[in-house]
Structure 1
Amino acid sequence: MLVFNLYRSIPITETIVLDVDKGYGLNQVIDTLNKKELITRPLILKAYVRIFKSRANIKAGEYLVSKNENIFQLIRKISEGSVYYRQIRLKEGSTFNEIVTLFTNNQFIRKDNNTDNLENIKSILDLDVPSLEGQFHPDTYNYIKGTLTLIF
């Protein structure tokens, strides 16, 4: 009877993002799920996963947890590294400075301090142009938390 509780949907009302830090093992993930009240019986889950899914390799990253998922689907997602992709949108007609601001203000993108001027940026991007205006295609781009970007 207790094991069947693990197959019920996770008790949330809306989709949430779960952050699994680098170096986390199965125990830390289960403890995090317990602290967030996504599971009620962590010891049973630890024992069950150890017995039946002993090769669960935990991958760091952000994971979407939906109200229709059960805990085993979530553990599988974390083991496979099916991370959540965030989106950033470059609008048509955006100036280079607007793009710089968009990336600089994004808390989920890591900044690279090795690009301190426009000439370095042009060199890194292998662009032989007088200006960077118009060089970036307007579109929606997917990225994962911690993706490295240039600091302008």
Structure 2
Amino acid sequence: MAVSAGGLLWWAEQPITLRSSPLDFRIAAGSSLRSAITQMREAGIEINPTLLGWLARAHRADTAIKAGSYAVKEGTTPHQLLDKLLKGKVTQGDLTLVEGWTFRQWRARLDRHPDLRHDTQGLSEAQIIERLGLTAPSLEGLLYPDTYLFDKQSSDLDLLARANRAMQRKLEAEWAQRSGGLPYKSPGEALIMASIIEKETGREADRELVAAVFVNRLRKGMLLQTDPTVIYGLGESFDGNLRKRDLQNDTPYNTYTRPGLPPTPIAMPGQASLRAALNPAASDVLYFVARGDGSSVFSRTLDEHNQAVNKFQRGGK
């Protein structure tokens, strides 16, 4: 095929024929120009590979194609398409993973996301942990809650790896700035505490005092007696109503029957809870009870606590 320079320039400004509009396609990492053209044609972009190759070489850009997810729409020209590929103007998906959610809840959201490639489908949690190269009994607490942007059709494993790296960075940074004398043997124990604080805190202003209650209890060898750990231990059998028999049912996560921290985190804590766990309020409070408006009443003695419970939980005067 012989095309003059003027003919190539004319062709470069003509609209491309697309199977649909807008049309999404992905260029795999390490793709050559020839491979990228093949991937685009397979996705439904009807473009002459020879002419696009000549156009790229004319721009000295035949080795500068950037991988990623892209979108083109009706009216796009070969010149515009090439510019998009050279500048890496990728399209992105986004996913918000929420503070206080469990891994089970996170995984359900990942599985429903239309812009992710679901490489974890059919894998057990233990198999996902192995694929991520981690040594942990559970992914609970090991993933940082945030909004993640990603190239469309990226692997859900890649997103989980990013969330894990983010949590490691956040935990290391907060551990390095921790208060002295805390009753934790490792950053992992602080992470467990942060997850409890995350589930127990209804108001931002109370977070450091909630942390103080649990830290003080650990220091004194008192039972933590926190409902969210019990609920976590009940798993899918929890029906939304925590009963007295549940508090008496001994599981590894029942902090009414077992001393110390539970064996793993019970949710994904955010940075504020990490910070509170490692920098609790300087207070000798040992109890708290919810007012019913999202805030809590904190007490130093059991008598004070019982009065608060009577007032706010039992309707006493």
Could you tell me which residue of structure 2 aligns to residue 30 of structure 1?
37
Residue 34 of structure 2 corresponds to residue 18 of structure 1: no
Name the CA distance, whole Å, in 1 between partners of 2:21 and 2:86.
23
Could you tell me which residue of structure 2 aligns to residue 9 of structure 1?
15
Residue 155 of structure 2 corresponds to residue 149 of structure 1: no
- The Cα of 1:27 is off from its aligned counterpart by 1.4
The share of aligned pairs that are identical, in percent, is 18
SS of match in other structure, 1:148? helix
Name the CA distance, whole Å, in 1 between partners of 2:49 and 2:139.
52
- The Cα of 1:18 is off from its aligned counterpart by 1.1
Which among 62, 65, 81 is matched to residue 74 of structure 1? 81
Could you tell me which residue of structure 1 aligns to residue 117 of structure 2?
108
One-letter amino acid matched to 1:9: P
Number of residue equivalences? 136
Could you tell me which residue of structure 2 aligns to residue 130 of structure 1?
none
One-letter amino acid matched to 1:148: L
- Say which is worse superposed, 62-71 or 36-45, in terms of deviation: 36-45
One-letter amino acid matched to 2:72: V
Unaligned runs of 5+ in 1: 126-135
Superposition CA RMSD, Å: 3.4
Could you tell me which residue of structure 2 aligns to residue 47 of structure 1?
54
Q: Which runs of 4+ in 1 moved over 4 A?
A: 109-112
- Say which is worse superposed, 14-23 or 102-111, in terms of deviation: 102-111
Change (3 A) 1:142 1:118: closer
Q: Tell me the TM-score normalized by structure 1.
A: 0.67
One-letter amino acid matched to 2:88: G
Is the 2:92–2:150 Cα contact (8 Å) retained in structure 1?
yes
- The Cα of 1:110 is off from its aligned counterpart by 6.2
- The Cα of 1:86 is off from its aligned counterpart by 0.7
- The Cα of 1:36 is off from its aligned counterpart by 4.5
Is the 2:25–2:43 Cα contact (8 Å) retained in structure 1?
no
Deviations 1:88-126 (A, max 9, x none): 2458x98433223212454436666225415661xx65x
Name the CA distance, whole Å, in 1 between partners of 2:91 and 2:25.
9
Q: Report the structure, 1 or 2, having the larger strand content.
A: 1
Q: Tell me the TM-score normalized by structure 2.
A: 0.36
One-letter amino acid matched to 2:82: I
Is the 2:26–2:39 Cα contact (8 Å) retained in structure 1?
no
Q: Report the structure, 1 or 2, having the larger helix content.
A: 2
Structure label with greater radius of gyration: 2
- The Cα of 1:80 is off from its aligned counterpart by 1.7
